[in-house]
Amino acid sequence: MIKYNLICKCGKTFESWFAGSREFDSLNKKKLVKCIYCESYSVKKTVMAPRLSKKSNQLSKKNKFEKNLKKQLLDFRKYVEKNCKDVGDQFSQEARSIHYDKKSSKGIYGKATAEETAELREEGIEVATIPWIDNSEN
Ligand SMILES: [Zn+2]
C-alpha cells in the first residue's frame, strides 16, 4: 500500500491510500478518485520532492540499500513464480475458492484491486500485497 498526497483543481490537498502507482492511475482514469472537499474528479498526485542528502556517501549508501532490496524482491518474485500458481485477474475468486472449498494447498498469486484485497481480508482470507518488481529494470 502506498499513500499519496493528492491535489484537486479546487486547490485542496488530501491523502489517500492505493495499492500502487498503477492502481492510482487506473482508478483516476476511470474517474474513481474523488476530491473529498468539492467532489470533483480533477485530482492529481502532488509531486513529491526527493529528499536529497548533502553528504554524497549517504546517498551511495542508500543506493546500495535500494539495490539490495531490489535483489531481494526479485528473488522473492522468482520464488513466488516457481512455487505458486499465477491466476492473474482471477485472484480474488481463486483465493475464495481455496479458502471456502479447501481445494488446493498450493499458493496462488495474481492481481487484485485494493477493494478486492480489503474484502478478502474482511472474509478472513490471508492476502499479502507484495511489491512486484520488474525483471527488466536494472
Ligand atoms: Zn476539490
SS (H, E, C) 77-106: HHHHHHHCEEEECCHHHHHHHHHHHCCCCC
Using one digit for the tens of pLDDT, what is the confidence trace for 69-95? 888 888 888 888 888 888 988 988 888
How far away, in angstroms, is 117 Cα from ligand 1 center? 27
Does the pTM surpass 0.85? The reply is: no
Q: How many domains does the chain have?
A: 2
Domain coverage including residue 116: 77-130
Q: In this structure, are residues 81 and 102 in contact, taking their beta carbons and an 8 Å threshold? A: no
Q: Is residue 50 part of a domain?
A: no
Q: Which of 72, 110, 73 is nearest to 91 (CA)?
A: 110
Task: Decide if 39 is inside a domain.
Answer: yes
Q: For residue 15, is it within any domain?
A: yes
CA distance 61 to 67: 10
Expressed in angstroms and rounded, the spacing between residue 34 Cα and the centre of ligand 1 is 8
Question: Are both 36 and 81 inside the same structural domain?
Answer: no
Same domain, 123 and 82: yes
Percent of the chain with pLDDT over 90: 26
From the CB of residue 105, how many other CB atoms can be counted at a distance below 10 Å? Answer: 6
In a domain, 138, yes or no: no
- Check if the beta carbon of residue 110 is closer than 8 Å to that of residue 86: yes
User: How far is the centre of ligand 1, averaged over its atoms, from the C-alpha of 23 (Å)?
Assistant: 20
| pLDDT tens digits, 92-124 | 888 888 888 876 667 888 888 888 999 999 999
Residue 51 lies in a domain: no
Domain contains 107: yes
Whether residues 83 and 126 fall in one domain? yes
In a domain? residue 53? no
CA 2 to ligand 1 center in whole angstroms: 21
Per-residue pLDDT, 99:
86
Distance from the alpha carbon of residue 43 to the mean position of ligand 1, in angstroms: 8
Alpha-carbon span 129 to 80, nearest angstrom? 12
CA 84 to ligand 1 center in whole angstroms: 43
